[in-house]
Structure formats: structure tokens, C-alpha cells
Structure 1
Amino acid sequence: MRRRHWIIAAALPLVLSACDRSGTNAEQAPSRSLEEIREVGTLSVITRNAPTTWYIDRDGEPTGPEHDLVESFAESIGVTVEYKRRDTVAAALDAVENGEGDLAAAGLTRTEARRDRFRFGPAYQPVTQQVVCRRDNVQPESVEDLIGLDIEVIADSSYVERLEALKADGHPDLAWRTNAEVDTERLLRKVWEREIDCTVADSTIVDINRRYFPELIAPFNLSSEQQLGWVMPQARDDLASAVEDWLAEFRDSGQLEDLRERYYGFFALFDYVDTSVYIRRIRERFPQYDAFFREAAEQYDLPYMLLAAQGYQESHWNAAARSPTGVRGIMMLTQNTARAMGVENRLDARQSIFGGAKYLARMKQRFVPEVTEPDRTWLALAAYNVGRAHMHDAQTLARKQGLDPHRWGDIKKVLPLLADPAYYNDLKYGYARGTEPVRYVRRIREYQHILANQVD
């Protein structure tokens, strides 16, 4: 099995570091009005190929948080989208300034220096700048501890702005290098490879990349919370107003929350030991079961990586796994479930995987048509873990609380209440450890995300 270097991916919050050229107002090339964009029927968007913006998924389709936001906005004004990729955020900003696109959607931090240069759309995502180092190299705990370290950050960035402010405010010996040729992800890899001591990255970029480079740590925040926004030419009040109207409706309808859940809902706490062990087992243990997961996923119309990730969550890919509660095998099937799925030997890896896949597919079929993907998959996984009866109670409770029983983002809010007598005493099936299915789904999504970038 060949390990693949990270270049694209799906999960956290919508971000990339915000690059900017320090300086004054520059003369911008003529830009198109909203009316002209509608007449032509195409919105020209500058973006980057990165996990937090725009990328091509395993099926060859464009996706990503910024992609989904842009597509929704374009639909609201009745046009299609033409994407123009740039290698760095600084290049994306230059492209807007040069009239090469109508707006830039590339995880851009709203800074004062940028406001002199561009018009920002409304804020849609908070981020925090973090110092990033390797845990077995250096572990600074303050700005003072950074003095003397080999620090490299991307050029013309909000990171540079922050470092310059700190240098002027009581840390005159603070020093760093800038790099105009690479993005933040590449610098994180340089830290991991011990080529440099530390860099600075937005919190969401760190959340994603620590899943592939678990030795990375973020010992402290370099900034307070900042906000991301789309960038447009200064003169485009009309386009900015349309973006503001659309985003307000997008947020109020719950779609922004849904989008964050889709891409980042599984990035919560980071477990260095668990992630390190998982990556090792992908190399050492997974190959002997890979074909079984692929075959079972194809037979039952399930995502292959999802099924494999579920198998790891259940047993750590241990075909002989047993628990005191009586579940057995890679997919940890109960005797009753195994019998219903036609599994004769739960400790037979192939039988267990096919039985688990069949059961998961059955869970997916037991929800009403109003439950759409990806919520159908997340609800089915939760039902696999806690049982369909308790999921029925959770949906009932969601309705009582004015939440949507068909959305995972709402169901995961009420599931923990199944352990509270103030709630479960009034429900048909009573007590359940409702926190467990929430954690179960989150871990599977995280394992799937990591696996997709370790396996060809």
C-alpha cells in the first residue's frame, strides 16, 4: 500500500490563512456589475485547491466548503459558476485586483489592511491563528518562547501582520522567515519533517492536518478570534449587497450550519495516541481486509471508506474481537443481528463485514424519504450503534423541541437526553446511553476522512 500525500479532502470549519499585501489602495481593474454578471449568466470565482475551499473528490466531482457556498449564492442570483484556481491566497487576491474574477472565495481573513484594498462580504466563519510545532521537537508556551526558534510563515499573510504587531509590542527579538512560494499546508508538512521548528496556521487548517500528521501540536493561540469573508473589488456595492442578502437567508434557513456539519462536524477533540495507532494499523492491518470491505460496500451500495472506517471503530479491524456484552467480530455483531443477517460465524472476517454492511444498509432503508443524504447515513450509523427503537425516541424528542427529526445536526443534540430521566421517562423505549451514538458517528467520520488520504 502506498501512502498518498495530502492534496485535497472533505469535514474542519471553512478556512485558509488570509494573505495580504501590505500597502495602500491599489488601482483595481474594472469589475463587472451584478447586472452584467446576470446578463452573461456566469459568476467568475477565484479560489484555491485545498481541503477547506475547493477540491475534486474521489468520484471526480468538485466539492468543498467554499464550493458549496459559492454554488448556493450563484443559484440565488440565477447564474452558473466559473472557477479559476490560484496556488496561493495572495495570488487569489491579486487576481481579484486585476479583474480576473468577480470575487475570491478562498478562506480569506478579514483584516484592516485588506479592507483598504477590497470590499469584504459578510463574515461566515471564525478562525484563530495558532502556533504549530512538532511535539517531539519544541513546545513553546508563549510568544517569548518563540524567540530563537526557526519560524517560517507564508508571505503577505495575516500571520505576518500578527507577528509584526507582536514584535512592535514588546518582543523586538522575535524573528521569522516568509515564503511566497508555498501554502500553509506545505509549511505544516515542513514542521512535521523537522525542516523548520514552527509555523503559524488557522485553527481549522490545524484541525484537519493533525489527522495526517499527528505529531503536530498547537501549543498556544497567536491571535484572538478572526472572521473569514469573500473578497470583491471596492466598487462592487451591488455584488456585496447580493452576497449579504443571500448569506442572511442561508444562515437563517439552517443551511450554513448544515454545511459546517457536513465538512467539519466530526472534527472535535484530537487524540494523538489514537490517531497515531490508527495510521499504523492502516498500513499493517487493513490490507488483509481491504477487499472484503470493497466487495461488501459494492454489494450493499455503501461508501467503501465509510464501511471500512466503521469496521475500525467497532473492532480496530480485529477479526477475533469479543466484548463482555456478547458482540463479536470485526463488525461486532450481536447473536440476533448475525442470525438475521445470515452470518453463521461472527469471527469469520468476510462474513462479519458482509453482515455488518447488510445491517447498515437495512438501517438506511428504515428512515422515511424525507431523510436525505448525508443525514440518512449518519442516522443509520447511529441506529446501528444504539438501535432503531432509541433513534425513534430521539426523533420524537426532536419534534417536541421544535427540531428537525430528519437532520443529524439536530438529532445529535437530543440523543444525549435519552440518558436523562426528565426526558426518557416520557419516551416509548426509555433509557439509552445517547452520548455513545453521537461519539460513534463522529469517530467513524473522522476515521473515514483519514483513511481516504492514506489509501489509494
Structure 2
Amino acid sequence: MTVFFRHSKHLLASLALFSVIGLMLAMRPTPTAMERVMARGELVVITRPSNTTYYEDQHGHTGMEYELAKGFADSLGVELRILESDDLSYIRYVVRKGTADIAAAGLVNTPERSEGMQFTTAYQLVDSLVVRRLDSPRLTDLDGLVDHTVAVPAGSSHAELLIKAQLENPELEFIEVEGATPEQLLALVEDGEVDYTLIHSNVYSLQRALWPDLIADYTVATDMPLAWALNPKDDQSLYLAAQRYLTQVKADGTTAKLEDRFYGHVEHFNLYAARSFMRHLEDRLPRYEELFRKAGEESEFDWRLLAAIAYQESLWDPGAISPTGVKGLMMLTNDTARQMGISDRTDPTQSIMAGAAYLRRVHAKIPDRIPEPSRTWMALASYNVGYGHLEDARILTQRQGGDPDNWQDVKQRLPMLAKPAYASQLKYGNARGGQAVVYVRHIRRYYDLLVWAENSRRRDETRIALN
């Protein structure tokens, strides 16, 4: 009995100790969502890879959602870690599970989604459009989809719109495709496997030139809010911080500048130009792609940027000659050819290599403090109008209270160089600065199309099929 009693005392003491420890653990406050982010030292964001959200260009990762998320992470003093998925159901699951802090994936805040996610204030408004082939019947209402094959991404806001339409017209049928991207669905429409799909207006504006035989001329819904989504079971700390950040960047013009950066160079659609570009993309570019890649490696420029410059200059025609006497793929002047040490401007190799090296020389003149991509766009403007005139435009920008190191601000002043009232005040005088703005805009457009066309080709390798 004595031995048993002694062991019992130890057992009771141990149980008491465990009880105290358990009570202390229970009393320890659960970390808030913001505290978890700060302790981790990183903000985890899940997004969809696309030209409106997150992609990679010559300067690294970018995209509207990426830039906003990166700005938020920077404001918190933490790193940004990106997770990728095209599956909308998985995106929502990852946020609710806590694997990601925020979904910044071009998500529309709908009443249905708000039941399972907590959405921030909108950072952009988009419309929902119906896409068809040019030879398909034009819609006047959603009843026109009856007896046609319609496909949309599973779990998308487009699917929600069609489900509501089905309540009024049960004959309307559609297919929800798991994990489908806009590019994949557009390909199905183009190939005739699907008659119609739905797409957001911001995606369509960037993609349209790659699909010249498709058109979106019927609007299903307008002013749909794109917003970030967070776990509704979390406390409000991270949500309120995200709200404050998005409200601030809208108020200080950051969001507007990002929209201009990603959408401002998308000019009015020209069907003939789009078809020509796609034809030359297939017929001409393959002949010179390796040369552009080699020049890109040597000059440290994205080869697609060099290809975009060449398309703007010559439509990838090595025999091109302008009325002023510039020649070749990169349309070099005699003076530039002599500076770069080439003898035949119509030789594709010489033209591309010299053009890339010359652009690098121009780029090196732009002050190092100017961040990318503004530095590259200014280099292109300088390539077109001359470095001195670019500097005049930057001085004018500063005088008028703009940022001389930001392309969005400088491009607004370049056209002023053609006005005597401004040119007379500047060192290098009158210049066709507006032409340089158009030149850069066209190159940006062609560059984006080359980036997105390459992404689409990669996705073609995993073309989806309808069951």
C-alpha cells in the first residue's frame, strides 16, 4: 500500500502539472491573421496565371494582380510568395484552408461567392461578354444561346450568370469546364468545337488581337467588381489592412497608373492589322526567331521585345525600305549602321544584332535610378525621337509636377514638344514627341502579343476536350 500511495502522489502531481500547462496553452491568445503573416515574414497569395493577373515578361513577374499584391506585401514589410492555379474551386479551398492568405486572381465579387469568402473593396470593374465566331449568329439576348454549345470555366462568375438565366429559360444549357483558361475556351470557339463562351472585358481587350476571327458584341453584365478574397473565418486584421491598402492606392492614383500601364497601350482594334500580325507570326517570325533569341542573349533584352521592335519597323521583312532610306528588319539608318560596324542593312543577322546592340547603347544612357519598365519604354522613345528630346520631355514633366522617372507621366508631355509655346522653353526645341509615344505604344502592344501568344502555344500542348 505504501508503494502504491507514493506512486499515486507522483501521478496526481503529474496530472496537476499537465492541467496547468493545458490551461496556460488554452489561455494563450490565438495569433491573428496579420500576426501570422508578420511572423512568417511573407504574404502568401494565390492567383491565376494570365495576362490580366500574373505573368512573366522581360523584367520578371508582373501583371495587375501581382503589382497590387506586391505593393501590399511591401507596405507590410514582408516578402510576397505566389501560388498559381487555374482551378477556381481549388483557389477558394486554399484560402479557406489557410494555405494562402489572399486570393488575388481576377475574382468577381458575387453574392454567391460572398457566402463562402470575404471580399475586399473592388479595385477594377469589368463586364461579362459573350464571344462568338464572326460567322456565328449575333446575340440580342441570352435566349439566343439555346440549341448552341456554350462552355465556361467551372465555378466562374460566368457560370453563375448562366445559372440565373436558366431559371428564366430552362432550355438554355451550357458546359462547365474544370480548370479551363480563357485561352483554352477561345481556342474551342475558334476551332468550332464550341459556339459561344463568356469572357471578362479586360481579358478580351488584351486577347482580341490574338483571335481576329472571334468577336464579343453582346454584354451579359456590366460593372462587375474585381476584388481580393480572404478566409471569412479569420479575424479582421488582415482584411482591414487589405481594405486600407486598396482604398489608399485607388485614392492616390496607383491603381489608375497600373490600369494605364497594362491597358493604356491597347489601341482600337483593327481586324486587318490583327489578321496580318497572326499571319506574319506563323509565316515570318519562325525564320528569324533564333536570331532574335541570340541577339537577346548578347544584349540582355527579351528576344520578344527585339522581335516587337522589328515588327513595328519592318513587319519582319528584311527587304523593307522606307521613303527616308532606312532599311532591313530593324530599319537602320546609314549612320547607325556605320556606328555599329555593319555593311549590309538588309542582311537579317547583321540588322538584328546591330539593332539590339544599338538599343542597349541607348538604354545605357537612361539614368539608372529610373525603374523598369519605365526605363525600357523611355529608351524606346529615345531610340525614336532622340535622347535630347526625351530629356526635354522629362524636364517638362518635372516642371508640371509629374514624375520625370515614370513613363506614364513622361509620355503625356512628349506630344507637347511639337507645340512652339513649350518647345521654345526647352534645350533641344521642337520635336515630334507624339510620334514617339505612338511608336512605344505599338511596340508594347506587339511585345505583349508575342508574350501571350507564346503562353497560348504552351497551353495548346494541353488542349482541353469537352466530355
After TM superposition, the score normalised by the length of structure 1 is 0.83
Answer 1 or 2: higher relative contact order, Cα 8 Å, separation at least 6.
Answer: 1
- Counterpart selection for 2:203 from 202, 205, 215: 205
Distance 1:400 1:83, change over 3 A: closer
SS at 1:222's partner residue? strand
Distance 1:351 1:180, change over 3 A: closer
- The whole-number CA distance in structure 2 between the counterparts of 1:299 and 1:164 is 54
Unaligned runs of 5+ in 1: 1-29
- The whole-number CA distance in structure 1 between the counterparts of 2:82 and 2:355 is 41
Q: Deviations over 1:152-180 (max 9, x none)?
A: 22333322343455566xx7477231314
Map of 2:191 onto structure 1: 193
Please say which of residues 351-360 and 47-56 is displaced more in the overlay. 47-56
Map of 1:227 onto structure 2: 225
- The whole-number CA distance in structure 1 between the counterparts of 2:385 and 2:315 is 19
Please say which of residues 88-97 and 101-110 is displaced more in the overlay. 88-97
Map of 1:107 onto structure 2: 106
Q: Compute the displacement of 1:312 (Å).
A: 1.1
1:281-360 matched pairs, under 5 angstroms: 281-360=280-359
Map of 1:247 onto structure 2: 246
Distance 1:366 1:161, change over 3 A: same
Unaligned runs of 5+ in 2: 1-29, 459-467
Percentage of identical aligned residues:
38
Q: Does the alignment pair 1:183 with 2:180?
A: yes
Q: Which amino acid in 1 is paired with 2:231?
A: P
CA contact (8 A) 2:38 2:78 kept: yes
- The whole-number CA distance in structure 2 between the counterparts of 1:140 and 1:418 is 47
Q: Deviations over 1:9-28 (max 9, x none)?
A: xxxxxxxxxxxxxxxxxxxx
CA contact (8 A) 1:322 1:328 kept: yes
SS at 2:221's partner residue? coil
- The whole-number CA distance in structure 1 between the counterparts of 2:81 and 2:357 is 41
- The whole-number CA distance in structure 1 between the counterparts of 2:373 and 2:46 is 28
Distance 1:143 1:92, change over 3 A: same
Distance 1:334 1:180, change over 3 A: closer
Q: Which amino acid in 2 is paired with 1:215?
A: D
Q: Compute the displacement of 1:365 (Å).
A: 1.7
Q: Deviations over 1:157-214 (max 9, x none)?
A: 322343455566xx74772313141324122221111111111111122223324322
SS at 2:107's partner residue? coil
1:233-272 matched pairs, under 5 angstroms: 233-234=231-232, 235-251=234-250, 255-272=254-271
Q: Which amino acid in 1 is paired with 2:281?
A: I
Q: How many residues are matched? A: 424
Q: Which amino acid in 1 is paired with 2:346?
A: L
Map of 2:272 onto structure 1: 273
1:358-373 matched pairs, under 5 angstroms: 358-373=357-372
- The whole-number CA distance in structure 2 between the counterparts of 1:338 and 1:230 is 51
- The whole-number CA distance in structure 2 between the counterparts of 1:302 and 1:380 is 12
Please say which of residues 347-356 and 193-202 is displaced more in the overlay. 347-356
Q: Which amino acid in 2 is paired with 1:444?
A: I
CA contact (8 A) 1:305 1:451 kept: yes
- The whole-number CA distance in structure 1 between the counterparts of 2:274 and 2:198 is 22
Q: Which amino acid in 2 is paired with 1:201?
A: I
SS at 1:201's partner residue? strand
- The whole-number CA distance in structure 1 between the counterparts of 2:108 and 2:307 is 36
SS at 1:129's partner residue? strand
Map of 2:405 onto structure 1: 406
Q: Compute the displacement of 1:278 (Å).
A: 1.9
Distance 1:265 1:143, change over 3 A: same
Distance 1:188 1:176, change over 3 A: farther
- The whole-number CA distance in structure 2 between the counterparts of 1:140 and 1:380 is 45
1:18-57 matched pairs, under 5 angstroms: 33-55=33-55
Distance 1:103 1:428, change over 3 A: same
- The whole-number CA distance in structure 2 between the counterparts of 1:138 and 1:184 is 24
Please say which of residues 94-103 and 392-401 is displaced more in the overlay. 94-103
- Counterpart selection for 1:218 from 209, 216, 219: 216
Q: Compute the displacement of 1:397 (Å).
A: 1.9
Q: Deviations over 1:369-399 (max 9, x none)?
A: 2222211111111111222232122212212
Distance 1:55 1:350, change over 3 A: closer
SS at 1:92's partner residue? helix
Q: Compute the displacement of 1:43 (Å).
A: 3.2
1:407-446 matched pairs, under 5 angstroms: 407-446=406-445
- The whole-number CA distance in structure 2 between the counterparts of 1:352 and 1:82 is 41
CA contact (8 A) 1:184 1:201 kept: no
Q: Compute the displacement of 1:243 (Å).
A: 0.9
Q: Compute the displacement of 1:148 (Å).
A: 4.3
- The whole-number CA distance in structure 2 between the counterparts of 1:384 and 1:247 is 36
Q: Which amino acid in 2 is paired with 1:178?
A: I
After TM superposition, the score normalised by the length of structure 2 is 0.81
Give the alignment's Cα RMSD to 1 decimal: 2.9
Distance 1:261 1:326, change over 3 A: same
CA contact (8 A) 1:311 1:317 kept: yes
Q: Which amino acid in 2 is paired with 1:377?
A: T
Distance 1:123 1:299, change over 3 A: same
Q: Which amino acid in 2 is paired with 1:46?
A: I
